Amino acid sequence: MHAELQLDNQICFRLYTAARFITQAYTPMLTELGITYPQYLVLMVLWEKDCQPVNDIAHRLLLETNTVTPLLQRMEKQGIITRKKGELDKRQQIVSLTEKGRHMEEKAFELIPAGMGETLKACPLQIDDYIHLANELDSIINSLKK
């Protein structure tokens, strides 16, 4: 047996499992909002800056446009966002929050930070540890996306 191929020696397995469990922890709060985790990511991008082209949203989320488009279509059907052609470039789709989408930010703020804090309180990490972890993960992401 090669040590390099043992599951317990794989950082990728730990990252995959942590991502799965974190997404699972978000699910009850996001269900209350009526959205999925990928839709939540789109909303966070739009809450930071409304009225963005689809390409910019996809770029910010490190996803392909063809991955983001079906999410946006579902969100539009839910009345959370609108999409319209760009004024300067008609090939561009500009995504904007609706009133419902803007109001969801306050509801998300009430639910999610406290909910995730409660979920993670048994974890021995302190805020500085999370900041360090985020920086380390950013390094991995930046190395792999090249």
pLDDT in tens, 68-121: 999 999 999 999 999 998 777 778 899 999 999 999 999 999 999 999 999 999
Q: Are strands 81-85 and 52-53 parallel, antiparallel or unpaired?
A: unpaired
User: Does the pLDDT of residue 3 top 80, yes or no?
Assistant: yes
Sign of the C-alpha dihedral computed for residues 105, 126, 7 and 12 taken in this order: positive
Query: How many C-beta atoms surround the C-beta of residue 144 within 10 A?
Result: 8
- Predicted local distance difference test score (pLDDT) of residue 1: 83
Q: Which of 97, 117, 121, 98 is nearest to 109 (CA)?
A: 117
- The pLDDT of residue 129 is 93
The pLDDT of residue 58 is 98
